[in-house]
Amino acid sequence: MKIRGRVWKFGNHVDTDVIIPARYMNTSDPHELAKHCMEDIDVEFVKKVSKGDIIVAGENFGCGSSREHAPIAIKYTGVSAVVAKSFARIFYRNAFNIGLPVIEAPNAVDRIDEGDEIEIDLEGGKIRNITKDEEYSFVPIPGFMMDIIRAGGLIEYAKKNMI
C-alpha cells in the first residue's frame, strides 16, 4: 500500500489538546471535529490542508488525552498519513483503529521539509522524497496492523476476523 502527498511539518510533543481542543468535544461528528484540527497552534491549518496531504512531526506525536477525536479530526481534514519520530502510545493505537496510517520514521523526519512531496510504502518500509530525490527507511508496519488499515479500522477488521 502506497500513500503519496504533500507535507505539513510540526515539532515535538504535538499534544491531543492542540490536535483537537476539548472545547469542541461536545460532539463526535468527524466533519465538525476536523474544522478545528490544530487550531490552537495554526489557525490556518484546516484552510491550507488538502486531501491526501501528509503530516510530518517530531517526537511523541499525539501525547496527552486518549481522545480518539484527535486522529479522527486529522483523518477528516483529508490528511492521508502521519509520519513522526515517535508517537504517544494511545494515539498510535487509536490511529490504526480508525484507519489512519501512522509511521514511526525517526531517520526521515529531519530530512523532510514542509511542502515536499513524499511517497510512503507501508509494507516496504520506505519513504521516497520526490522533491529532494531521496529515500529513507523505517520498520515496516506489521502484518496484523496492515490488515486493520486495509479493512478500514479495527471494527471492520473485527467484523471480518474475530466475532
Instruction: Please state, in angstroms and rounded to a whole number, the distance separating the CA atoms of residues 108 and 70.
Output: 23
Among 5, 60, 101, 122, binds other proteins (CB under 8 A): 60
Q: x-or-dash pattern for other proteins, window 15-54, by CB under 8 A?
A: x-xx--xxx-xxxx----------xxx-------------
Whether the Cβ atoms of residue 107 and residue 32 lie closer than 8 Å to each other: no
Nearest Cα to 8, choosing from 118, 152, 92?
118
Q: Which is nearer to other proteins, 1 or 22 (CB)?
A: 22
Contact between 120 and 3 under an 8 Å Cβ cutoff? The reply is: yes
Q: Measure the CA–CA gap between 17 and 3, rounded to whole angstroms.
A: 27
Over the range 54-71, which residues count as b (16 or more CB within 10 Å of their CB) and which as e?
bbbbbbbbbbbbebbbbb
Q: Give the one residue of 93, 103, 122, 129 binding other proteins; rule: CB under 8 A.
A: 93
Q: Which is nearer to other proteins, 40 or 113 (CB)?
A: 40
Least separation in angstroms between CB 141 and other proteins: 14
Q: Is 106 in the site for other proteins (CB under 8 A)?
A: no
Nearer to other proteins, 69 or 128 (CB): 69
Contact 32, 24 (CB under 8 A): yes
Backbone torsions φ then ψ of 12, nearest 5 degrees: -85, 155
Q: What is the pattern of x (binds other proteins, CB under 8 A) and - over residues 113-152? A: ----------------------------------------
Chain residues that interact with other proteins, rule: CB under 8 A? 13, 15, 17-18, 21-23, 25-28, 39-41, 59-60, 63-69, 71, 86, 88-90, 93-94, 97-98, 153-155, 158-159, 162-163
